[in-house]
């Protein structure tokens, strides 16, 4: 019997540092309603812009700025909700801790994160004060400082909620407050020597992160420490966090993610599995092929292969077992099958890398196509080899079943055509394309298939998506502050000089890059890794004459492979949760696929044509 897939209320892009139990009560309901309303407005404004441009030849005044600031609002509101529910993105290995150790780790982790949040609240308040004196207007008479006020309010709420969640016992909460104050006070005391704080502070932040503190605490805390030590006002971190909204492509991230999450909550996973099983199920290894195709397609819209494990795992696993697969290879397939989708448009990592590295989003979409096919082929080939010799007699190919499956899933299968047509024909910007895609998916799921109710379900999914986006944008904002510090300190330039003088050879540089990125993928989540490392890697690649799209695909392929690394790989924990198996058992099942996909990453690295051969399509 197929197990029902958990809803996305049980999922996040990383395992949280404490259980994701939504806070009850009126306040939580109001927060959820506001978050979903802001998300709905974010979807509508680009659509209004398209409609006005097509019918009246005019645009909506201030639309771009409003959309960007709505994205900032979703980020802060979503992060506050994530802190409320204990679901800020955190180091997944901390979930292995039990008993007293887990309780002590939670106090330390929450204290460290609360301290960083409090300092970011203080820094943001300084930004708002300066902006209020400047008197800038955003649009339609709305002052910029009024929107920026969400930053100190959001960080303050996050700090308060982290301290409240540190322990269920008042004494435990008191310990957390004392520890947080010990980190905050030196920043506010003029006579305190910063050099005494940086090393101790970084050791404390790393320890707290390993023990479960949200990742933004490590990155934001490092930015605060380094800037403070350099004599730069910590308000610059808030300035950089706010400056993230200035990127015109940023709103495409929550909009494409919303499309994926709506699909995940609908009946789309079941219909997609049925289509690919009807087409390929009778072939040798057909169940594996169907699993790879469905999971890759699905990941390209959710942007997270771990969410695919949750959404499709309960459907793909029985399919594989019924086809005669042993449990171990079936577990491996389900855990790894969605990874190639990270390189397939319109996956979130592709968009984020393009924004950070200054590469065309369309170029990254095209550059990821062939590497996606390669990685899909590797996983499918491995799955076909695992098909037992003695298996069930294949059912005859049924055109009637295929036609019925295609008819049922035709709307989901058509989703990729929306961004392809809109972008290639120049009908819409990337953000408008993302809004069109989200609208199309909402229409299909609510009005065509009626999987979701417009009033009961859609706001819930928007809230869930906003929560995840809030965690991501929180990390992105503080990571930008750290990145700008590194740039100002000329760290990337020094690394480029070191690499060109020490390595010299392009072949050796690529090998070293693979090793470095794979190790980075073991300890850093893909989103902060893109913010922090992409500028460095892009410059180093340019010094060796490498195409920026090629470097980007290498970068993402390596980091995605990190999702399968032992103990810290997110997909291992998602699969462990979904199927009730120990993490070590999941890793043993995935290990052969990890090796095979590593070979695929090497092919992507040393065969540039895979990433650049089709770029003429967007030039």
With CA atoms as reference, report the closest residue to 528 among 489, 482, 568.
Answer: 482
For 211-331, strand residue ranges (E) read none
Does residue 369 belong to any structural domain of this protein? yes
Q: Are residues 237 and 259 in the same domain?
A: no
- Residue 117 falls within a domain, yes or no? yes
Q: Are residues 195 and 316 in the same domain?
A: no
Q: What is the full DSSP assignment across 43-78?
A: HHHHHHHHHHHHHTS---TTHHHHHHHHHHHHHHHH
Query: CA 278, 279, 285, 287 torsion: positive or negative?
Result: negative
Instruction: Say if residue 282 is in the same domain as residue 210.
Output: no
Same structural domain, 44 and 193: yes
Do 520 and 474 lie in one domain? The reply is yes
Residue 3 included in any domain? no
426 in the same domain as 407: yes
Q: Are residues 137 and 266 in the same domain?
A: no
**Residue range(s) defining the domain that contains residue 87:** 15-246
Question: How many angstroms separate the CA atoms of 587 and 584, rounded?
Answer: 5
- Domain C-terminal end among 188, 222, 246: 246
The contacts of residue 580 (CB under 8 Å, 6+ apart) are none
Beta bridge partners of 90: 214
Q: Taking the C-alpha atoms of 375, 379, 381 and 387 in order, what is their torsion angle to the nearest 10 degrees?
A: -170
Q: Do residue 238 and residue 256 come from a single domain?
A: no
- Radius of gyration in angstroms for the set of CA atoms belonging to the chain, rounded to a whole number: 24
Question: 90: alpha, beta or left, given left = phi > 0 and alpha = psi -120 to 50?
Answer: beta
The verdict on residue 9 lying in a domain is no
Determine the pLDDT at residue 36: 94
Residue 543 is encoded by which pair of tokens?
A: 């010094």
Question: For residue 453, what pLDDT is reported?
Answer: 93
Q: Is residue 589 part of a domain?
A: yes
pLDDT at 298: 84
Q: Kindly state whether residues 431 and 481 are assigned to the same domain.
A: yes
Q: Does 8 fall in a domain? A: no
- Cα separation, 452 vs 446, in Å, equals 5
Residues 6+ apart with CB under 8 A from 506: 544, 545, 546
Coil vs helix vs strand at 169:
coil
How far is the C-alpha of 18 from the C-alpha of 86, rounded, in Å? 5
Residue located via tokens 């079943």: 401
Tally the domains of the chain: 2
**Which of 207, 222, 246 lies at the terminal end of a domain, its last residue?**
246
In terms of residues, how long is the chain?
619
Give 193-197 contacts, CB < 8 A, sequence gap 24+.
194/225, 194/228, 194/229, 195/229, 197/225, 197/228, 197/229
Q: What is the mean pLDDT of each run of 10 residues along the chain (619 residues)?
A: 38 38 69 94 93 81 87 93 87 67 87 94 93 86 91 95 90 91 81 70 87 87 88 88 80 87 87 87 84 88 74 82 87 90 87 86 90 95 82 68 91 89 83 92 94 92 89 86 82 80 83 84 73 84 89 91 73 78 84 92 93 78
Looking at the domain assignment, is residue 7 inside a domain?
no
Model confidence, pTM: 0.82
CB neighbourhood size of 367 (10 A): 29
Q: Do 176 and 324 fall within a single domain?
A: no
**Lookup: tokens for 163:** 């301290």
Dihedral over Cα of 26, 443, 469, 310: its sign: positive
Q: How distant is the alpha carbon of residue 376 from its chain centre?
A: 21
Q: Which two tokens stand for residue 401?
A: 């079943």
2 assigned to some structural domain: no
Is 203 in the same domain as 303? no
pLDDT reported for residue 24: 52
Q: Does one domain contain both 477 and 364?
A: yes
Residue 434, φ and ψ in degrees, nearest 5:
-65, -40
Output the pLDDT for position 20: 38
The last residue of one of the domains, among 208, 223, 246, is 246
């Amino acid at each position: 019997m197929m197990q029902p897939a958990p809803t996305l209320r049980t999922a996040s892009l990383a395992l949280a540092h404490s259980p994701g139990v939504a806070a009850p009560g009126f306040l939580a309901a109001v927060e959820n309603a506001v978050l979903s309303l802001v998300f709905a407005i974010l979807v509508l404004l680009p659509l209004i812009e398209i409609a006005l441009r097509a019918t009246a030849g005019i645009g909506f005044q201030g639309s771009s700025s409003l959309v960007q600031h709505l994205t900032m609002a979703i980020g802060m509101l979503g992060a506050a909700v994530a802190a409320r529910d204990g679901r800020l993105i955190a180091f997944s290995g901390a979930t292995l801790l039990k008993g007293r150790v887990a309780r002590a780790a939670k106090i330390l982790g929450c204290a460290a994160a609360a301290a960083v949040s409090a300092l970011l609240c203080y820094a943001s308040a300084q930004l708002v004060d300066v902006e209020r004196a400047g008197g800038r207007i955003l649009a339609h008479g709305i002052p910029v400082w009024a929107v920026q006020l969400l930053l100190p309010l959001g960080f303050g709420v996050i700090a308060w909620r982290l301290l409240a969640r540190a322990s269920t016992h008042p004494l435990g909460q008191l310990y957390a407050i004392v520890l947080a104050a010990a980190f905050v006070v030196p920043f506010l005391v003029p006579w305190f020597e910063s050099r005494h704080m940086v090393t101790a502070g970084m050791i404390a932040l790393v320890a707290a992160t390993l023990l479960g503190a949200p990742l933004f605490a490590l990155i934001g805390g490092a930015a605060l420490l380094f800037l403070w030590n350099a004599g730069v006002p910590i308000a610059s971190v808030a300035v950089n966090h706010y400056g993230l909204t200035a990127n015109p492509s940023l709103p495409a991230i929550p909009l494409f993610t919303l499309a994926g999450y709506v699909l995940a909550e609908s009946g789309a996973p079941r219909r997609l599995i049925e289509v690919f099983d009807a087409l390929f199920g009778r072939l040798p290894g057909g169940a594996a092929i169907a699993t790879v195709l469905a999971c890759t397609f699905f990941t390209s819209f959710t942007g997270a292969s771990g969410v695919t494990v949750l959404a499709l795992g309960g459907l793909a696993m029985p399919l594989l077992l019924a086809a005669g697969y042993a449990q171990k290879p079936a577990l491996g397939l389900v855990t790894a099958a969605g990874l190639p989708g990270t390189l397939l448009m319109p996956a979130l990592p592709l968009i984020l890398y393009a924004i950070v590295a200054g590469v065309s989003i369309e170029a990254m979409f095209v550059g990821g196509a062939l590497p996606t096919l390669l990685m899909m082929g590797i996983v499918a080939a491995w799955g076909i080899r695992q098909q037992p010799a003695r298996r069930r007699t294949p059912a005859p190919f049924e055109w009637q079943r295929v036609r019925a499956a295609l008819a049922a899933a035709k709307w989901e299968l058509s989703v990729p055509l929306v961004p392809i047509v809109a972008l290639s024909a120049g009908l819409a910007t990337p953000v408008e394309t993302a809004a069109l895609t989200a609208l199309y998916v909402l229409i299909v799921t609510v009005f065509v298939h009626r999987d979701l109710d417009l009033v009961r379900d859609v706001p819930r999914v928007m809230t869930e998506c906003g929560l995840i986006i809030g965690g991501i944008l929180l990390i992105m904002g503080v990571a930008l502050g750290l990145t700008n510090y590194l740039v100002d300190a000329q760290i990337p330039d020094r690394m480029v000089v070191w690499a060109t003088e020490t390595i010299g050879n392009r072949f050796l540089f690529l090998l070293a890059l693979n090793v470095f990125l794979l190790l980075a993928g073991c300890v850093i989540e893909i989103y902060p890794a893109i913010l922090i490392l992409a500028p460095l890697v892009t410059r180093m690649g340019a010094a060796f004459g490498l195409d920026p799209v090629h470097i980007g695909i290498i970068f993402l392929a390596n980091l995605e492979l990190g999702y399968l690394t032992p103990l810290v790989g997110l997909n291992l924990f998602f699969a462990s949760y979904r199927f009730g198996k120990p993490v070590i058992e999941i890793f043993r099942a995935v290990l052969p696929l990890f090796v095979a996909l590593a070979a695929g990453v090497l092919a992507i690295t040393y065969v540039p044509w895979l990433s650049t051969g089709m770029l003429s399509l967007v030039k």
